[in-house]
A and B are shown apart, each in its own frame.
Chain A
């Protein structure tokens, strides 16, 4: 493939590592797809459950979350979902915000909010499951 007449600007080490211009290879792309595939059953299951829980009183809703299968499904959905959201928002921000300072600040803010949302919601699930609420 590579002839002496058309040398690549990429070093052999850079080529071997395969990290490309993103400096992180395909990991962002791959994790976006992996989390998407994982969320298909989780979203379907939780969405249908939420619809059936609509207007449920406190004890009914808590009893649903306290079921071990549902606790695990919810925690998985929240952890995977907020990570997926964080990856997706990152791409949008990188595409549309061209000023570097503003881009980095927006990225930092978005990642912090998504992490806070994930921790708040998962902690709530744990409180409901392990201590029946606050």
Chain B
């Protein structure tokens, strides 16, 4: 029996705002990290296995598609880390005013942007 009613976090009925978009992005980046962690597991298993298998995994990581996945993972870590710290400040009651919430949001977005640029440099240009 599926209830024909909207589920609790109503994402579609409000005009998008920085606060709500950053909130759902925290969840999305968390889901992306939990899913993408399979590549970290894969790399560690390959590192334990050694030999040709590690070479193969290294080849995947050096391929353009592998690099794009790594960049996405790196950006997701940056965002989830910075926004997670923003959440921890809120838990201490700091930055909960409307201005504070927006200020923190801009700081997190600036950090994620700079960090992603650094990631592009390290993964594709260096």
Contact = CB atoms under 8 A, between A and B. Distances in A.
- By DSSP majority rule, is chain A's interface helix, strand, loop, or mixed? helix
For the side of the interface on B, what is the size category? 35 or more
A81 B37 contact: yes
B122 A65 contact: no
Given A37-B88, A95-B7, A98-B3, A124 B34 contact: no
A47 B34 CA distance: 16
Interface in A60-103: 61-62, 65, 81-82, 85, 88-89, 92, 95-96, 98-99
Query: Helix, strand, loop or mixed for chain B's interface?
Result: helix
A40 B81 contact: yes
A85 B37 CA distance: 10
B31 A89 contact: yes
Given A40-B81, A40-B85, A58-B54, A95 B8 contact: yes
Interface of B: 1-3, 7-9, 27, 30-31, 33-34, 37-38, 40-41, 44-45, 47-51, 54, 58, 61-62, 74, 77, 81, 84-85, 87-88, 91, 122-123
